[in-house]
Amino acid sequence: MTTFPHSRPVVAGVDGSESAVTAAVYAAQEAQRRGLPLLLVHATPWSSGRTPVAGPAALFGRMLEDSAGVLLRDAEATVRERTGVTQVDTAVLDDHPVPALAGISAEASLVVLGRRGVAGVPGVLAGSTASGLVHHTRCPLIVLPDDLAGSDPARRPVVAGVEERRDDDEVLGFAMAEAVLRSTDVVAVHAWRDVVLEAEVGGFGSSVDWTGVEAEERRLLAEAVAGWRDKEPDVAIREEVVHARPVQALLDQADTAQLLVVGHRHRGTFTRLGSTVHGLLHRAACPLAVVPVGQVPR
């Protein structure tokens, strides 16, 4: 596998779709912001490492390899034209997209994907790639909406979904760093619902002090962000506590955000917020950053 001993690159998956070209350009812009290298990759299990040396399978494999090279060269040319980035590395990864990108993510600072790809051809980044990669990526993953060009991100905030868990610091840390890079503010959103309690009191009148419950949720959110106000005093943080399901609350915030940041825990478990990630992947109106939380530091 390609190694990057000095700095971890920003990686974009390329499959020939318009969505992937947009991802490559977006990744180039993110690499510029960070002063990091850019790596464009195409994943296919038909590279020379697995293709027979003779026969129809070998011919098919060579055709796909040639096609991968063309896709990467075209994406590189588009990136240079639209962003002015001159240093662009490319690589063909010898595996299916999800394991290939999961592997390269261990050496990356950020992976960027388009929401939709070309379907029906081995090695392409279909819409399921982002959904699968969420479970395995070792670095933050940004998934772009279908109509990225239709939004103007200028001065829109970075929105962070806060669960009021220990892992919140990883999510807020990424959101704050992004806000610094983008010269904008952060909106820390905590959505809460006690479904069991609501079911118990439903139909019998409200015997619960919901005002007190919400006040406690606000106190916990304020505690979660307090340290970040001290660390980044130049970044304004607005706190939003919403009595709603997390996915809907965050989708509403995404309408006016330039980036939505949520955490996702691996290890086969889903947190309250993590269980909404797949809904956000396909419906958020702005780029969605999924931060792997609870990992052993790389």
Tens of pLDDT, residues 217-262: 899 999 999 999 999 999 999 999 998 889 999 999 999 999 999 9
pTM of structure: 0.84
**Would the pLDDT of 269 be above 50?**
no
- List Cα–Cα distances, 154 to 2, 47, 150, 177, 267, in angstroms: 35, 41, 13, 17, 37
- Tens of pLDDT, residue by residue over 34-66, are 999 999 999 887 655 555 554 444 544 555 566
Residue 15 half-sphere exposure toward CB, CA atoms < 13 A: 27
Average pLDDT over residues 268-285: 69
The strand pairing partners of 289, in sequence order, are 142, 261
Number of CB atoms found within 10 A of residue 220's CB? 16
- Tens of pLDDT, residue by residue over 190-210, are 998 754 455 555 544 456 666
**Would the pLDDT of 1 be above 50?**
no
To 10 degrees, what angle do helices 210-231 and 168-182 make? 60
Q: State residue 166's pLDDT score.
A: 75
C-alpha dihedral (60, 104, 39, 130), degrees to nearest 10: 80
Q: State residue 163's pLDDT score.
A: 85
How much of the chain is in helix, strand and coil states, percent to nearest 5? 40, 20, 40
Q: State residue 275's pLDDT score.
A: 64
Q: Mean pLDDT over all residues of the chain?
A: 82
Structural domains in the chain, CATH included, are 10-145 (3.40.50.12370), 158-293 (3.40.50.12370)
Assess contact for 94 and 76: CB atoms under 8 A.
no
Average pLDDT over residues 263-292: 76
- Tens of pLDDT, residue by residue over 105-161, are 999 999 999 887 644 344 444 457 888 888 889 999 999 998 876 556 767 999 999
Q: State residue 56's pLDDT score.
A: 47
Percentage of residues in the chain having pLDDT higher than 90: 51
Q: What DSSP element (H or E) covers 227?
A: helix 210-231
